[in-house]
Amino acid sequence: MKSKMLVLLLSGLMVISCASHQAGVSIKRPHPKNLEYPELKVETPEYTEIKLGNGMEGFFIEDHEVPVVNITILVKTFYPDKSKFGRNEMARWVMRNGGTKQWPSRKLNDELEFLAANIRFNGGGLSTTASLNCLKKDLPHVLDIYADLIMNPAFPEDKISMKRKTMLEELRRKNDKPMNIARREYRKLIYKEHPYGWYGTKEGYNSISREDLVKFHEKYFHPGNTIIGICGDVTEAEVTSLLNKSFSGWEKADVEIEEIPAVETDESENYNYVYKGDMNQAYIMIGHLGIKNDNPDRCAINIMNYILGGGAFASWISQEVRVKRGLAYSTGSSFNSRNFAKGTFTAYAQTKSGEYSRTINLIYDQIKRMKKEGPTQVEFKKAVDSFLNSHIFDYESKEAIVQRLVSLEFEGQPLDTPEKDMKKYAALTIEDVLRVAKQYLRPDDFTILVVGDKAQFDKPLSSFGEVNEIEIK
């Protein structure tokens, strides 16, 4: 019996082998490099613009794939006085973790955990976002809790004290990591007194009172000063009815949001040094102010920077500094565009102290090469293809699409900006990349910062130019 089974098994394998061989002979498959694909097209799923009875406006996408609902409310805010920087962060945290009179902290967290629901508060100086995620069956109940947190935060003193201690401890440890020092001090040098360059202080954190948090909430948290995004297993009629009910007590009010000031532009080459002992590494930051998001050359600049230093191991800076010479574990560049004031261009490297000057010169060489020669056609095509392909991930989920619509509305950008960007990238030429390199890379205006121990440097930083020594506390 076993012999017959073995014969049958071997016969079957021979038939499969022959069939596979025959199929391989008869089918001619093209080489991967010769494959052709249809033109890449992406479209934002259909969404609805909604407006609630209390003045809240935003976007809704119906999605019945899973019985879950996601809601985000973005509240427009602004920075406090510099002397109280950190107020917004403290207010957000205490709003979520301090609960309300009806839902104090422990009761709130126990209820959300039992329901497998999530409510979180995030944001920066210019906005606070409150996000909700829950099962559809629990939406009426969780939405009531969510609305209560947004409308009626208790701001308990014990939670304020807890958050203050956490912020002070983070401040105490701010100089533990040299890369954190480099990023912080570089940002201060670039933005000077602009709010983008502000950081918290011990005196500032200690000066923030419960009254400051209450005033922050009273000033900004009103329905007409929000953008709402909804996605999930509900209809528009269902969710708007629930929202109108849960937020029925939220009063309308006129909210005046201050404008972000322009960033100073009187840049010139300058060298800066921060002493950080007990290490044989130097952390280098090189750059200048960048562009705003509404700059018409933004897409061409992104391609240029991808080739220069943003494209990981494929970029020029990484190839020359890390791959060919092994001078840095971390190196590259970024060209950030921001929405309300200019971003930054930054080339960076972490290298041996004894090789810091060589690394700086190599980075300069690649920047000058980009301004003079620009990329090859092959490099240009790979960069464009990378950006076009990466945009596919912007459409992975309907929730992410709603979040993007909220962000675009807040930033004042057209809602079809991603689709327009795809067309811009596809229409770019290699001449466009060289043009923006010549126009937007300005080595004569570079701010250079080196963090490390100058006793271990291969040559003094002063050999490049006059040095400003920054003392950190």
Q: Which amino acid is at 57?
A: E
Predicted local distance difference test score (pLDDT) of residue 46: 86
Paired tokens of 340: 């309300």
Q: What is the dihedral of CA 274, 332, 188, 79, to 10 degrees?
A: -140
- How much is the pLDDT for 392? 73
Which of 6-15, 186-195, 418-427 is predicted least confidently?
Answer: 6-15
Compute the distance between CA of residue 25 and CA of residue 28 in angstroms, rounded to an integer: 7
Which residues touch 464 (CB under 8 Å, ≥6 apart)?
Answer: 271, 357, 360, 448
Query: What is d(CA 465, CA 397) in angstroms, rounded to the nearest whole number?
Result: 51
Using CB atoms within 10 Å of the CB of residue 175, give its burial: 0 to 12 exposed, 13 to 18 middle, 19+ buried: middle
Q: Is 270-470 in the same CATH topology as 48-246? A: yes
Confidence bin at 456 (pLDDT 50/70/90): very high
DSSP symbol at 65: S
Instruction: Choose among 258, 259, 263, 256: nearest CA to 196.
Output: 263
CA dihedral 29, 33, 38, 44 (to 10 degrees): 130
Specify the amino acid at residue 322: R
Token pair 């000077």 is found at 192
Residues of the chain above pLDDT 70, percent: 91
> How far apart are alpha carbons 421 and 417 in whole angstroms?
6
Average pLDDT rounded to a whole number, residues 97-116 = 98
Average pLDDT over the chain reads 92
Q: Is the predicted pLDDT of residue 451 greater than 80, yes or no?
A: yes
For residue 472, what are the contacts with CB-CB under 8 A and spacing of at least 6? 175, 181, 185, 274
Q: Regarding predicted confidence, which is higher, 41 or 307?
A: 307
- Is residue 249 very low, low, confident or very high in pLDDT (cuts 50, 70, 90)? confident
* pLDDT for residue 24 is more than 80: no
Residue 336 reports pLDDT greater than 60: yes
Distance CA 8, CA 131 (A): 62
pLDDT (0 to 100) of residue 9:
43
Cβ contacts of 178 within 8 Å, gap of 6 or more: 276, 279, 281, 283, 451, 452
Q: What is the mean pLDDT of residues 292-318?
A: 95
Superfamily of domain 270-470: Metalloenzyme, LuxS/M16 peptidase-like (3.30.830.10)
- Between 278 and 26, the higher pLDDT residue: 278
Torsion of CA 285, 201, 92, 88, to 10 degrees: -80
Task: Check pLDDT > 90 for residue 429.
Answer: yes
**d(C-alpha 412, C-alpha 431), whole Å:** 30
Q: What does R_g of the chain's alpha carbons equal in angstroms?
A: 28
Query: What local confidence, expressed as pLDDT, does residue 39 receive?
Result: 66
DSSP per-residue string spanning 131-173: EEEEEGGGHHHHHHHHHHHHH-----HHHHHHHHHHHHHHHHT
Better-scored residue on pLDDT, 304 or 40: 304
pLDDT at 326 over 80: yes
Q: Provide the pLDDT confidence category of residue 1 given band limits of 50, 70 and 90.
A: very low
Which pLDDT band, with edges at 50, 70 and 90, does 37 fall under? low
Name the more confident of 45 and 350.
Answer: 350
Residue 122: helix, strand or coil by DSSP? strand
Average pLDDT over residues 191-217: 97
Position 33 scores a pLDDT of 67
Q: Give tens-digit pLDDT for 63-73.
A: 999 999 999 99
Q: How many CB atoms lie within 10 A of CB 47?
A: 19
H-run or E-run covering 452 = strand 447-452
Residue whose pair of structure tokens reads 């400051």 in the numeric block: 212
Average pLDDT in the 388-401 region?
A: 81
In eight-state DSSP terms, residue 471 is: P
Report the chain's terminal Cα–Cα distance, integer Å.
85
Q: Give, as one character, the DSSP assignment of residue 311.
A: S
Rounded CA separation 449/282 (Å): 10
118-123 and 127-135 strand pairing: antiparallel
Residue type, 338: R
Task: Please state the CATH superfamily assignment of the domain spanning residues 48-246 in this structure.
Answer: Metalloenzyme, LuxS/M16 peptidase-like (3.30.830.10)
pLDDT reading at 20 higher than 90: no
**pLDDT at residue 15, rounded to an integer:** 44
What pLDDT score does 382 carry?
Answer: 95
Distance CA 169, CA 228 (A): 34
User: Mean of the pLDDT values across residues 65-88?
Assistant: 97
Q: Give the domain ranges of the chain.
A: 48-246, 270-470
**CA separation for the pair 410, 404 (Å, rounded):** 10
